Amino acid sequence: MTTEKAIVVKNLSRHFGDFKAVDDISFEVHRGEIFGFLGPNGAGKSTTIRMLNGLLLPTSGEGRVGGFDIIRENARIKNHIGYMSQRFSLYEDLTAEENLTFFGGVYGLDPARLTGRITEVLILVGLEDRRHDLTRTLPLGLKQRLALASAIIHEPSILFLDEATSGVDPISRRNFWDLIYAMAQEGRTILVTTHYMEEAEFCDRLVLIYQGRIIAQGTPSELKGEVKETILALYPGNLDGALDLIKKLPQVAEAAVFGDGLHIATTRPEETEPAIQETLTAHHIACGRIERVRPSLEDAFISLVQRAEGKEAVSYQQSAIS
Amino acid sequence: MWRRIRHIIIKEFIQVFRDKKLRFFLIVPPLVQLLTYGYVVNFDIKHVAVAVFDESRTLESRQLIDRFTSTDWFNVKYYVKSQKELLHLVDRGDITLALWIQWDFATRMRQGKSGRLQVIVDATDSNAALIVSRYAGTVIADYNQLQLDRQLARQGQEWAGQSGTPLDIEPRAWFNSNLISRHSMVPGVIAMVVLLVSLMLTALSVVREKEIGTLEQILVTPIRPIELMLGKTIPFVIISLLEVAMVTALGILWFEVPFRGSFLVLLLGTMAFLFNSVGLGLLISTVSSTQQQAMMAGNLFLTPAILLSGLIFPIANMPVFFQYLTYLNPLMYFIIVTQGVFLKGAGLVLLWPQITAMTVLGIGMLGLAVARFKVHIA
Ligand SMILES: Nc1ncnc2c1ncn2[C@@H]1O[C@H](COP(=O)(O)OP(=O)(O)OP(=O)(O)O)[C@@H](O)[C@H]1O
Ligand SMILES: [Mg+2]
């Protein structure tokens, strides 16, 4: 590899008709880093990955992956990357081993290396005792590990994992992340997209994507530091009822369910705490103790999205006036 | 390059042979088609009910009627006295064929003009009607020939003063003495089966991978479009050839269809045809995103291809526009090739125009498919 940066993206956009699925994003990923893409549904995470691995051409902007240009050297990138798409996409009617043989073969591995690699990756993902099982018969967690095995059969230096753990139980997810860590340890660069906040915490660095745009980037703690509001946590008797009431309070910037309690963002905590107690008591909902907590990544996410939406509203007004 | 292609081919074969539905699709429908066309759509006709209105009442007209009574094909059930009665019988569906020999039939013939004869066929079942009229045509042609021979003989005697027996030429449909019977159907079915199997397998196999997302997974590998295309078509070419072998064997062994030509010519013709059907299959896979769409698109081509092939409906009976259209139909050429190889023992000397036409059309089709495949899939 010729550069220290595994991925460099500059002003990348992809439009579908009038719709801007990815809108002028720029970021860099260092070698050996676990880099996270965090964003709600339809934010443009998959579209970005598809441009980086050569499945989709950008509308404008540029990017380099492993030192190769994503538009002009599109074909040369492919030997260096592995991709696990959002949908499970192995052959259900082939065995685990047959799937690996096929993909390894299509990557052009010679027979000796192929045999060796199949055993290696099967051991790595803990599937060597299921190698002759039809993929259809594997539970989802194992299927996803097999998909990972197939994505790394050719030892790529950069790995794209698009919601690799969606729909998998927490324990399998944990195991999966152990694998991701192990691969990062070997010096591979890993770009993951996720919905799960706790997974985002595992990333070295993150970008937050919202409506095709990057609204924040940094390490998880940097992102949490972006939160200007104070976060109040409380565990009221009636979650939904309390949430409705609290959202109506003028002092509250944002309120959301968090675990089995509520997280409330506010810039004026001294006024907000009594206001909450007052309105809940008035409606006969037990309030419990209100605590000030360190913002979680989810709080940061909500707050940053709020801020982005606010800006959007402002710029919209401006353009309406001018 | 070949290593990648080989891996795709192996994978396709594993999938085809592991898939119960597909195995069924490859064996049962072709057999059903063969049996249907061989038995049920049995175009050998027998004892078709005929009514005759003989207005002429002459030796000549009786000879013509005799021609009809003396074959197994027709059963002259009614002799009627008026046109009205004749039409009535047709209307009631009592008869399939009505012959009206007009009053000046013999007079005109003696004058060397053609005798007038009206043939009415019940066309409720247009397909059967077509066949019945063909058979009636044969009987009449046969009779014509006889009359002609006699006339020639008579003239010969008069002019040359020589005596000689009239040549007794028995007109027969060449190569296939029972006309359009199962003997010509079986080679036709082979052609249809090849079309169906190769077209559908190719189109569905690519589209299925689109549906389940594996195509995307293949496209992030360094595979080249041409490698993917070869990997995706070679297995179905091989399977189609196996189908040809299966149906041919059954046709020969079970239906006792003669195989007079060479297997090599049949193979060559099949390969030329496969360019077309596999190309079309690929083309369909570039425009469809679901298997259902691909099926529909496939059917859109299958039915016209069969109707315009001349297998069931003679091309000569089509409107002129459609007759020209058949020149663009590879199945038309392929059926000539299969029938030629089976029934006439035709070789390349006879069949090169058809094989060339299929190759040219096929290369065009494949070219189109490759171009679209590169843009829309890879
Ligand atoms: N081929 C396409 N044609 C039209 N619109 C598309 C196409 N692909 C994606 N989109 C749209 O672009 C937007 C971004 O999609 P994308 O799949 O990148 O989102 P995502 O962040 O991956 O979301 P998710 O979390 O749901 O996977 C969506 O609104 C989607 O409908
Ligand atoms: Mg996505």
pLDDT tens digits, A38-92: 988 889 999 999 999 989 999 999 999 999 999 998 888 999 999 999 888 899 9
Whether the CB of A22 sits within 6 Å of ligand 1? no
Chain B interface test: which of A86, A88, A106, A118 (most B C-beta within 10 Å): A106
- Mapping DSSP onto H, E and C, the string for chain A reads CCCCEEEEEEEEEEEECCEEEEEEEEEEEECCCEEEEECCCCCCHHHHHHHHCCCCCCCEEEEEECCEECCCCHHHHHHHEEEECCCCCCCCCCEHHHHHHHHHHHCCCCHHHHHHHHHHHHHHCCCHHHCCCEHHHCCHHHHHHHHHHHHCCCCCCEEEEECCCCCCCHHHHHHHHHHHHHHHHCCCEEEEEECCHHHHHCCCEEEEEECCEEEEEECHHHHHHCCCCEEEEECCCCHHHHHHHHHCCCCEEEEEEECCEEEEEECCHHHHHHHHHHHHHHCCCCCCCEEEECCCHHHHHHHHHHHHHHHHHHHHHHHHHC
Q: Is the pLDDT of residue B180 over 60?
A: no
Chain A's closest residue to B216, CA to CA, is A55
- Mean pLDDT, chain B, integer: 83
A82-86, B57-61, B297-301: which range is least confident on average? B57-61
Residue among A46, A165, A166, A192 to mutate when testing ligand 1 (max atoms within 8 A of CB): A46
Whether the CB of A86 sits within 6 Å of ligand 1? yes
Ligand 1 nearest-atom number relative to CA A43: 21
ipTM comes to: 0.84
How many contacts does A have with B, using Cβ atoms within 8 A?
66
- A75 close to B (CB below 8 A): yes
A162 Cα to chain B: minimum distance (Å): 12
Give the pLDDT score at B138: 78
Whether the CB of A213 sits within 6 Å of ligand 1? no
A3 Cα to chain B: minimum distance (Å): 22
**pLDDT band (50, 70, 90) for residue B254:** confident
Give the pLDDT score at B170: 34
Give the pLDDT score at B86: 87
Whether the CB of A181 sits within 6 Å of ligand 1? no
B199 Cα to chain A: minimum distance (Å): 22
* Residue keyed to tokens 């360190």: A294
Whether the CB of A61 sits within 6 Å of ligand 1? no
Residues of chain A neighbouring B4 (CB-CB closer than 8 A): 105-106, 108
Pairwise CB contact (< 8 Å): B4 & A87: no
Q: How far is the CA of A163 from the centre of ligand 2 (A)?
A: 7
Q: Is the pLDDT of residue B126 over 70?
A: no
Residue among A47, A49, A161, A165 to mutate when testing ligand 1 (max atoms within 8 A of CB): A47
Whether the CB of A56 sits within 6 Å of ligand 1? no
- A144 close to B (CB below 8 A): no
pTM exceeds 0.90, yes or no: no
* Residue keyed to tokens 């069949």: B351
Of A54, A88, A92, the CB nearest to B220: A54
pLDDT tens digits, A231-252: 888 888 888 888 888 888 888 8
Give the pLDDT score at B178: 43
A94-108, A307-321, B187-201, B302-316: which range is least confident on average? A307-321
**pLDDT band (50, 70, 90) for residue A312:** low
Give the pLDDT score at B264: 93
Chain A's closest residue to B19, CA to CA, is A93
Q: How far is the CA of A52 from the centre of ligand 2 (A)?
A: 14
Chain A's closest residue to B227, CA to CA, is A106
**pLDDT band (50, 70, 90) for residue B102:** confident
Task: Give the whole-angstrom CA distance, residue B315 versus residue B321.
Answer: 11
Of A79, A106, A108, the CB nearest to B8: A106
Q: Which of B281 and B105 is assigned the larger pLDDT?
A: B281
pLDDT tens digits, A12-40: 999 999 999 999 999 999 999 999 999 88
Closest residue CA from atom 17 of ligand 1 = A46
Closest residue CA from atom 6 of ligand 1 = A16
C-alpha distances (whole Å) from B48 to each of B85, B96, B170, B185, B325 are: 18, 7, 22, 21, 34
- Mean pLDDT, chain A, integer: 88
Q: Which of A291 and B356 is assigned the larger pLDDT?
A: B356
Give the pLDDT score at A169: 83
* Residue keyed to tokens 């027996």: B165
A171-180, B16-25, B57-66, B173-182: which range is least confident on average? B173-182
Chain B's closest residue to A93, CA to CA, is B15
Whether the CB of A16 sits within 6 Å of ligand 1? yes
Q: Is the pLDDT of residue B314 over 50?
A: yes
Range A116-144 average pLDDT:
93
| Sheet strands side by side (includes A261-266) | A252-258, A261-266, A230-234, A290-293
Whether the CB of A45 sits within 6 Å of ligand 1? yes
Q: Is the pLDDT of residue B161 over 50?
A: no
